[in-house]
Structure 1
Amino acid sequence: MNDQSVASATTRPEKKFSAIWLLPLIAVALSGWLMYKNFIEHGLTVTVAFANGSGITVGKTPVIYQGIDVGEVKSLQLDEDLEGVTATLELSRQIEPLIRENTEFWLVQPQISLSGISGLDTLVEGNYISFKAGDGEPADQFTALYEPPPLAGNVPGLRLRLRANELGSLAVGAPVLYQQIDVGEIEGYQLLDDGVEIIARIEPLHQHLINSSTRFWRQSGVKVSAGLQGVKIDAGSMASILAGGITFETPDKEAGPAERDAEYRLYDSREKAQGSRRVLVQFKNPDGLSEGASVRLRGQEIGRVESWQFTDNDPQQGVDVRLEIKSPYHRFLNTETQFWLVKPEVSASGVAGLDALIGGPYVSVNISGEGGPVPERYTALSKPPQARIQAPGMRIELRSDELGSVSVGSKVYYRKIAVGQVETVELDARGVSLGVFIHERYAHLVHRESLFWNASGIHVSGGLSGINIQAESLATIVAGGIAFHTPDVSKPQAAWEGLRFKLHPTYESTLVDVSREITLQFSTGASINKGTEIKYQGIKVGEVYAVELDDDMDGVKVSARLSPSAKGLAREGSQFWLIKPQLGLAGTRNLETLVTGTYITVRPGPGKVRNHFIALEKPPSLNKPTSGLNLVLSAPQRGSIKEGVKVFYRDIPVGEVFAYELAFDATHTLIHINIEQRYAPLIRPGTKFWNSSGVAVDVGLFRGANIRSKSIESLLEGGIAFATPDGADKLPTVESGSVFELHPSVEPKWLKWQPTIPIHPR
């Protein structure tokens, strides 16, 4: 058997991954990281086309968004057509979501104009490029704007859109004003198919002033309108005069708040912003009526004449006048509304429309409370309608012998304020009857005792005592008028509808029926004239209306009237005298008459009614005081003592002389003095009084001269002094009416007395 050899298999360990393969992986990772780093560091590159490269510097001009530097200009080159430049901007990758098709770029640089100064920060930091984020697909090529777009910069505040027919003098940066205070500005504007849209921004502090009821109007430059109606100047702040401006008001404070980008109408004037309505009125012959003439309702301006043209382009048919009626008056218009032309007219029946002589012709309106909607065109009346006022009030009747210059429409005045007017004028056999309307709010001023007079024109009266010119307001001089007043009565009675009054010709004639006429006999008429007042306790109670010589030529007769409330002064025992200034070494009195003029005063008497009085040459004696301590001093002579002379204690005035008289047997003089209540305890039994008037001189051969005088006041006017002995506080006080001797001079020992006597506190 053959042996066969079998070979055995050998095993080898499996080969592991070679380290050399790590090199390409590291190279790929490193190149990827380098590419990412290069992408991140270089940022986002875009190109922006500018009209020119002025103000743009490569490597220096930054790109700023919301105040943060987000890029810079990397290169700047001319366009292929050489008509502009293209700037290559390298931007931060952080803002890549903001760079889209509609993103807008522009160059920010300083600008100075009438509207203000912008871009001041570029004076320090230099020009820079800014942009407004857009939407759409990502893009890297853009065309720069010539100026910042509206709503640029994301400045906080409330932005509104105002629509107007034209831009006018408004400019970017012009102020938005509220009560002449700058609360915002105009940020931009853009053309629309039907006008202009203006973008305004209101500061956050003031945006609460805007709500859905706010109305805006222009406040641009200075507007001057002049004509027969006068000159009107309308101007805002200096900024609005130079660059234009917008102002507004918010009539309804409770309206809903304004929303961002809300739309409002921008009106040309405040009148149009407040709301108005235009109506067409056909006039046959509007002589003198011009654009700007006023439209008046019961004397108040409610609109203006806007324009006029011939009816259907035919002058024979008349003129269509377009009126602008302001709010809220246009809401009262209806089919019964009447229009007519008011202009000065002179005819055989009299003069009418004198109020239009100065202001020019105007359109008057009469509005009725009932009627249908406003028609397409009104027809003006050829003459004013019946002047019966359709308003609450009271109607009375005035009777007069003649009409004077009063006519239908003449005003009725109370204290120079119009409270009514004349509605009708009728002539009958007894004279003239005037129907007068008093407005309801003033009806309470008319009483049964009220007196009416014709206040028309100018009343001139004169004589030896002077010329008196009396006139009411300019309106009554030109158009006539009636005035009235109510005398002072204890219980005035309210007037009622249809009450009849007399129309007096002048104001003076109304006083005859209610005043008390008196005559005063003066020895001379110096300082007394027509109009000299009669006063009682400082209040005017009457007035002199005539001064003339009396019948025997020995004096002057003064005729005066006392007001109804002062009739009680005309009684027996009343004393009248003239108050005029007194100047002299002894003092001054009545200095107020240097300004107000001399006047007549009176001390009422207790007797019966009397109308004729003999005036006193000087003021009467003072009445006996009712307070204080009244004493009587007995002296051989009065000397320089007179009424009003002071009584002194230790050179302090504590009383005064109020009267003097002869004793019943005429052997001596009695001087009545009053000591103030506070100083009454100083008078005790044994008190010594002496005459301290003038200067006392005692001269001796060996002892020389002794000159003694009190105050300058007692030296000039006279005076009385007294002293009380020591220990007088233990003596009883004296009673009113006690009599003391008035010594001619003082004894030295009296001046040494120093009693301790408490006086009453103030």
Structure 2
Amino acid sequence: MQTEINEPLIEEKKSISFIWILPLIILSVLIWTLYESYSKKGTNVQIIFNSAEGLKEGITPLKYRGLELGKVTKIVIKDLERVEVNILVKKDAADYVAVEGSKFWIKKPTVTLTKISGLDTLISGYEIEVMPKYNKDKDLKSQTKFTGLDSQPNFEYIKDGYYVTLLLRDGNSVNIGMPLFYNSMQVGEIVSKELYENNVYIKAHIYKKYENLVNESSSFILNDAVKVNFGAGGFNLKVSSLYSALVGGIKVKTSDLNAKKITDDKQYLLYTSDDNLEEKVIINIEFLDAEDIGEDTSIMYKGITIGKVTNISLNTNSVNAQAFIYKKYKYLLTNNSRFEINSAEISLDGIKNIGTVFTGKYITLNYKKGEFKTYFKDKKLLNSQINADDLELTLKADSLGSITNKSKIYYKDIEIGKISNISLSKNFNQVIIKIQIYGKYKNIISNNSLFYDMSSKLIDIKNLDLNINYSGINPLLKGAIAVIKDDKQSKLTKKTFKILKSHQEAYKIKKMRNKGFTLKTAFENNFRLEEDMPIYYQNYEIGFINKVDFEEHYSKAELFIYNKYKKYITKHSKFYKKSPVKVDASLNGILFEIGDISSLLYGSISLDNSSKKEINGYQIYDSFDTMKNSTNTINIVFDNIDGIIEQSSKLVYKGINIGKVIDISLSKNQKIVLKVQIDKNYDEFAKQGNKYYLKKSKISLQEVKNLSSTIFAVNIGVVKGKGKKTQVLFNGYDSISDIADSTKGKIFKVESLHATSAGVDSPIYYKNVQIGKINKIDLSSDASKVVLDCLIYNKYTNIIRKNSNFYDISGFKLKFSIFSGTKIETNTFTSFLKGGLMVVTPKEYDKKANGNDKFILKEELMDDWEKISPIIK
């Protein structure tokens, strides 16, 4: 087999393969990218912040006025207190940012009362802001490491702006952004605040349009946006404006609008209040003590602040207060003027200077004409100094109690002296108290004067006898001694007195010194009397109970009556134990009346001479009511007394309570008998001719009367007659109209099978003229009919004849007909509202009717009633 050998195919190979083009392109792109990256590569800066809160690597931008200049690339913890934030700054911005003087801070949302900023960062996240330092005349050195600020710095001032420099020692009251006000209008704001050499320098920017309002004559004062004043005139709150109340501010006062503008090199003091602008006179006041007063304590004259205390310093035995008085009140500073500290005083007599509880104590000036003076001593210090005219006495006591060196001597709650020294006797058995009575009061003291401790006890209970110190809170807290003056005012020859333990003991000794006579009385054992209990007549003490003898059923009391009141004890005199508390309720409110304090604490007896009846022997009753119940009563008989309440229903004459219902009973003939106690003018209200009626409430279209009887008890009214003889039994009327109606006309009885819409006081007409009214509505004796008592006035009784007809015209009548339509009829508007009757007397009228005649009420008025018009003779 022959082997076939093929000739090889020979092809020419190209010099460059296509497959190498793609790598060359990629290599070119990489070289270009590296070149672009290097040529535009920025500068890396490191900033130290206290916190990296809200910052994120690769996200948080660096911005200047909204333009992004770089981005955070890395955040590193520098130490436990700081972080290092690396920022790549764009190359074209690096020459301005990465230089000395640049300031960096973290921009966060800020909300204040004056400004809202950075709210966009709530959505986009926190940003780092930069403030480059630019100086066109000088090249700045490069810098890549910085310390970040805690907050946004102050921007450069507006070119050609108007700025004022203010000086303030305490910068806490002023903040950047705080407004400046001129006449309540904002004219500028604080733009910077710097501390230098213990002073705060504040830069204020004045807005362009208000530059003419601020000049060299201007004064700057911190704004009292909210000013509170509390004093004798009450509470006063003044707010300049809601805006200034919230943000505070600075007031600008300009005295001369034509003055020059303020230059940059001048500094103005920022005053804390308007007071600093007023001229002042410096004075010194020496106080015995300065309890509860200090710097800024007000000095007042007639309720007006005339100055303030500026400094307090201590002397050897006193306190010195440096103060100022406004120059316009300089005339008040005389050698006869006196200063004293005002403070709250609380006692059972009342509360004095209550305003000082809230505002603190203040100093008052008592002005008197004299020569100008700037050094003073307060009233307390002057009183503490012994004067030649003062009276010095010695008091002895078994114990000191609450009395101290600061305790005062009082007469009728007025300070008349003080304690100058306290020591023990030589044998240590007694306390020796030296006192000083001021010269102008020394005539109060005599040989028979009584001194007692006002403060030793608040409550003393001994053998169930209650003794309460009611002299006031001040004596109780600070200790005090009281003086009881001798009525005869004997001479003063002795210098030593004994201090009695209580007012009760001193009072008893004083009473026993009076001349008088004794009176024998009796009393029941349902109440208690005590020895020394005072006796009063018309609020004057006329004696006391000297002795009490208790027996099994009926006891005796011996009364001691002072001679000068002997004329008031007569054969008509009665005595009763006085109730210390009286409560009276009415529509005007609740009257809570307390008698004198002595009767409240110890009880008392009152003398009453209102009775005209002579008595055999004197008696003491347990109460005023019991005494009155024994005499001065009348009986009133009623058919019905709805609303009358025993001990609550009053007897009233012209709005004045003259008595009350003390008993309700039923008579044999089923009438109700009220026993009424008359307290005032018994002889006038127990006379023949007087008429008594129930003051029930009445509510109608015409009037509203006695509304209180719907809430409280029904009272009894009285109409005085002309009788002269005394009478104790009376018939009562249901209302005052019954009394008046008994003289106005005649009653005619009208019967109906059922009640009508007409009620009591509904009118009765004749030819649409009112001739009377319905006086009463009741059932007949057999209850088969309704009986109307119709009162016809005297001048119209002649109209009512035996054949007269009474018609019910109450409300309205509705007539409906297919042919004639609908017709509504009513006689009068009054009868429509409150009902009424119509009387028609026929042309052929009969004899005159009398009270015994009875009429039948007809329901429908005849159609031609208006044509019936007899001439009645």
Q: Is the 8 A contact 2:574 2:608 kept in 1?
A: yes
Amino acid at match of 1:285: D
Q: Is the 8 A contact 1:632 1:670 kept in 2?
A: yes
**Residue 286 of structure 1 corresponds to which residue in structure 2?**
399
Q: Offset at 1:185?
A: 3.4
Amino acid at match of 1:405: L
Deviation by residue 1:214-263 (Cα, 9 ceiling, x = unmatched)? 221235xx77999xx9998967669974xx7532224xxxx5x3323354
**Residue 259 of structure 1 corresponds to which residue in structure 2?**
371
**Residue 135 of structure 1 corresponds to which residue in structure 2?**
none
CA distance in 2, matches of 1:352, 1:698: 84
Amino acid at match of 2:633: R
Is 1:433 paired with 2:553?
no
Is 1:560 paired with 2:676?
yes
1:422 to 543, 555, 574: 543
TM alignment of 1:598-609, pairs within 5 A: 598-601=714-717
Q: Offset at 1:644?
A: 2.6
Deviation by residue 1:29-75 (Cα, 9 ceiling, x = unmatched)? xxxxxxxxxxxxxxxxxxxxxxxxx99xxxxxxxxxxxxxxxxxxxx
1:339 to 435, 451, 455: 451
Secondary structure of the 1:592 match is: helix
Q: Is the 8 A contact 1:397 1:434 kept in 2?
A: yes
TM alignment of 1:579-728, pairs within 5 A: 579-581=695-697, 590-601=706-717, 610-612=727-729, 621=738, 623=740, 644-646=761-763, 656=773, 672-674=791-793, 691=807, 693-694=809-810, 695-696=812-813, 703=820, 706-710=823-827, 713-715=830-832, 717-720=834-837
**Residue 185 of structure 1 corresponds to which residue in structure 2?**
308
Amino acid at match of 1:408: D
Q: Is the 8 A contact 2:535 2:607 kept in 1?
A: no
CA distance in 1, matches of 2:460, 2:658: 46
Q: Is the 8 A contact 1:531 1:544 kept in 2?
A: yes
**Residue 246 of structure 1 corresponds to which residue in structure 2?**
363
Higher relative contact order at CA 8 Å, sep ≥6: structure 1 or structure 2? 1
Q: Offset at 1:318?
A: 0.8
**Residue 465 of structure 1 corresponds to which residue in structure 2?**
none
Closer, same or farther in 2 for the Cα pair 1:566/1:631, shift >3 Å? same
Is 1:367 paired with 2:367?
no
Q: Offset at 1:181?
A: 2.0
Secondary structure of the 2:531 match is: coil
Q: Offset at 1:178?
A: 1.8
Secondary structure of the 1:714 match is: helix
TM alignment of 1:51-200, pairs within 5 A: 160-164=283-287, 174-186=297-309, 198-200=321-323
Q: Is the 8 A contact 1:354 1:479 kept in 2?
A: no
CA distance in 2, matches of 1:585, 1:180: 55
Amino acid at match of 1:380: I
Q: Is the 8 A contact 2:752 2:856 kept in 1?
A: no
Q: Offset at 1:267?
A: 4.1
Q: Is the 8 A contact 1:488 1:564 kept in 2?
A: no
Q: Is the 8 A contact 2:687 2:727 kept in 1?
A: yes
Secondary structure of the 1:508 match is: helix
Is 1:316 paired with 2:433?
no
Question: C-alpha root-mean-square deviation of aligned residues, in Å?
Answer: 7.1
CA distance in 2, matches of 1:439, 1:211: 50
Q: Is the 8 A contact 1:308 1:319 kept in 2?
A: no
Amino acid at match of 2:499: A
Deviation by residue 1:511-549 (Cα, 9 ceiling, x = unmatched)? 246513426465678743233223456554432212345
Secondary structure of the 1:317 match is: coil
Task: Give the TM-score normalised by structure 2.
Answer: 0.48
CA distance in 2, matches of 1:329, 1:509: 47
Q: Is the 8 A contact 2:643 2:713 kept in 1?
A: no
Closer, same or farther in 2 for the Cα pair 1:478/1:709, shift >3 Å? same
CA distance in 2, matches of 1:705, 1:518: 60
CA distance in 2, matches of 1:470, 1:193: 52
**Residue 405 of structure 1 corresponds to which residue in structure 2?**
529
Amino acid at match of 1:561: Q
Deviation by residue 1:591-634 (Cα, 9 ceiling, x = unmatched)? 3311342133456776975544565677774535989xx79999
Closer, same or farther in 2 for the Cα pair 1:658/1:224, shift >3 Å? closer
CA distance in 2, matches of 1:422, 1:750: 82
Q: Is the 8 A contact 2:278 2:326 kept in 1?
A: no
Q: Offset at 1:507?
A: 0.8
Q: Is the 8 A contact 1:311 1:318 kept in 2?
A: yes
Secondary structure of the 2:809 match is: coil
Q: Is the 8 A contact 2:451 2:481 kept in 1?
A: yes
CA distance in 2, matches of 1:523, 1:632: 20
Q: Offset at 1:333?
A: 2.9
CA distance in 2, matches of 1:265, 1:568: 66
Q: Offset at 1:708?
A: 1.7
Deviation by residue 1:618-672 (Cα, 9 ceiling, x = unmatched)? 7774535989xx79999998996776333579989797566999xxxxxx99955
Is 1:380 paired with 2:499?
yes
Equivalent pairs, count: 572
Task: Give the TM-score normalised by structure 1.
Answer: 0.53
CA distance in 1, matches of 2:610, 2:813: 60
- Structure 1's unaligned 5+ residue stretches are 1-53, 56-108, 113-118, 130-152, 461-468, 493-499, 662-667, 724-740, 754-762
CA distance in 2, matches of 1:598, 1:186: 65
Secondary structure of the 1:405 match is: coil
CA distance in 1, matches of 2:773, 2:385: 75
CA distance in 2, matches of 1:634, 1:380: 85
**Residue 586 of structure 2 corresponds to which residue in structure 1?**
none
TM alignment of 1:523-562, pairs within 5 A: 527-536=644-653, 538-548=655-665, 557-562=673-678
Secondary structure of the 1:380 match is: strand
CA distance in 1, matches of 2:382, 2:820: 98
1:217 to 340, 352, 368: 340
CA distance in 2, matches of 1:180, 1:217: 14
CA distance in 1, matches of 2:788, 2:533: 73
CA distance in 1, matches of 2:867, 2:515: 82
CA distance in 1, matches of 2:602, 2:694: 42
Closer, same or farther in 2 for the Cα pair 1:439/1:716, shift >3 Å? farther
CA distance in 2, matches of 1:548, 1:635: 33
CA distance in 1, matches of 2:310, 2:289: 16
CA distance in 1, matches of 2:471, 2:375: 46
